[in-house]
Chain A
């Protein structure tokens, strides 16, 4: 709270003028306006995070009171084969899907930029899947990527390729999930397209005069200029991938006693959900939540550090 009444970065003469006498009054009004968030932050953010820390040190099954067990959950976590599997699945999926999504969305954005008058139509087409409920995407995954009669394998068959069993073969489950994730890159396409509009033609022209081909112009001019948008997409997609749940849960995990689990699709968030709400191991699940929290923070911190090096903000705006 040390920054106290430091004026906002934007100079706002009107409010500053009034600060002398009305400052305190203003503060009270402002608190009223932000009170919904303040209350919500305390009740649904700060308290739950702290309570998760506490629960992670207990055994808790909802019915009986939590009993303190110290670091037992964390110790158990270290030796849990399934956690290791879930972590590996999640990391492998993230490492495949984030670059794939970025490459595909950048390719589509570059295409759209050249689409001329019809761009509106194609943009809508690319964005449409993003509007599909993830649970329906999970159903589509089961049907379109089905090994026996799925559409994708039928399509591959035209080229003489014998498609794998995407939904049952452990080696192909994650690539299948990545393919479905590519179907929903619409938002990234739109963001990149907006960023591409900002690339100054003069720079591309200068590079052209210097004899740079399409690829070099893309790599040395366009990509650095749109790097803030790329960075944003990578961060958001990474955080989302690390927490992937709905599509994989829908397609590979039956609720209750239905069993169709494919351990190749056991993502961390799914295992956490199972531990918490199916096995009612709330203490253990809380320890898992803390680990996820740490992982997300570390990954994000690394990305922030890398961004200092590779992300270029032009014009000094923000």
Chain B
């Protein structure tokens, strides 16, 4: 992992671009410490042991889950790390017991649509706030920030009624289409990033005759790629893992997303009459794995994005 390079002493991250890939936000150790600051042998052993123990606590549930999904029905709860009898039957059975392929496709569709729309629209809005002076700008941006504080419950029911009146309940549309309007948090993140870019660049492009749209699309946006990736990854996770909207808007089993489907399998095979925890476990693995894969692909951006979200006042 490239985090091993102790990427420069980038100093306090007061500069606005929060996600410069080479920034030292995540580099754990600064310059080598003078000897007097180094913890003693006892301290180092403590740190090492504590790190290993906590790591096991954080990773073990995944291992347990995957291992349980490879066990026959009777052994699911035996807590053995290596299955006594190893079988892939559960995966085949899940495929027969539930329309898993449809669920995966539905979720992929919703996730991709949600991610694409929210990234583009949030960037548009952020650019409008970052680049231009206009009457009421501070007031409107205050509204953007304030809207982050409104709990989802306060808008949930009328939002449902809107989609209902559009005849969209029972379709996948309500799960993503709200995203075409942008999301306050992403607008905030991207605006911060835009404000960190040198204005001269855009002025120069305008002098050269580029229109507003061209400056945004061909000059600003390419420079924003790291921040756009962060927003896309955040939204990918939010959309992939969302259960609530699936519960509210989806009716037919065929139309479920994977989280919604997993919940229905738990109701059917876990709490319900049919005792098939091995299927619930396997469906959990199937729900989780795509997210974990995306995490490993975008790890650096996700972690740097997260690191930068909490450091601004």
Residues on A facing B (Cβ under 8 Å): 1, 3-8, 10, 12, 14-16, 19, 23, 26-27, 29-34, 36-41, 43-45, 47-49, 51-52, 55, 62, 108, 111-129, 131-136, 138-140, 142-144, 146, 148-149, 151, 154, 183, 186-188, 190-195, 197-198, 201, 205, 208, 228-229, 232-233, 239, 242-243, 245-246, 249-250, 254-256, 258-260, 269, 272-273, 276-277, 282, 285-286, 288-290, 292-293, 296-297, 300, 313, 315, 317-318
Given contacts A190-B303, A286-B157, contact A128 B62 (CB under 8 A): yes
Q: Are B153 and A45 in contact (CB under 8 A)?
A: no
Q: Are A41 and B153 in contact (CB under 8 A)?
A: no
Q: Are A48 and B154 in contact (CB under 8 A)?
A: yes
Chain B residues numbered 115-164 whose CB sits less than 8 Å from any CB in chain A:
121, 124-125, 127-129, 131-140, 143-144, 147, 149-162, 164
A193 neighbours in B (Cβ, 8 Å): 26, 28, 307
> Is B77 part of the contact surface with A, judged by Cβ < 8 Å?
yes
Question: What are 16 of the A-B contact pairs (CB < 8 Å)?
Answer: A1-B139, A5-B134, A5-B135, A8-B137, A36-B121, A37-B121, A40-B180, A45-B150, A111-B50, A114-B39, A114-B43, A132-B292, A133-B291, A143-B77, A194-B311, A205-B37
| Bound Cα distance A124, B68 (Å) | 23
> Is B70 part of the contact surface with A, judged by Cβ < 8 Å?
no
Shortest beta-carbon distance from A176 to chain B in Å? 14
> Is B310 part of the contact surface with A, judged by Cβ < 8 Å?
yes
Q: Which 4 A-B pairs have the closest CB atoms?
A: A40-B181, A33-B128, A119-B28, A191-B310
Shortest beta-carbon distance from A282 to chain B in Å? 5
Q: Are B271 and A254 in contact (CB under 8 A)?
A: yes
Q: Are A293 and B151 in contact (CB under 8 A)?
A: yes
> Is B4 part of the contact surface with A, judged by Cβ < 8 Å?
yes
The contact of A12 among B150, B153, B199, by CB within 8 Å, is: B199
| Bound Cα distance A127, B153 (Å) | 28
The contact of B311 among A45, A117, A201, A229, by CB within 8 Å, is: A229
Closest to B290 in A: A133
Closest to A56 in B: B157
> Is B171 part of the contact surface with A, judged by Cβ < 8 Å?
no
Interface stretch, picked from B83-91, B96-104, B221-229, B277-285, is: B277-285
Given contacts A27-B132, A140-B65, contact A318 B313 (CB under 8 A): yes
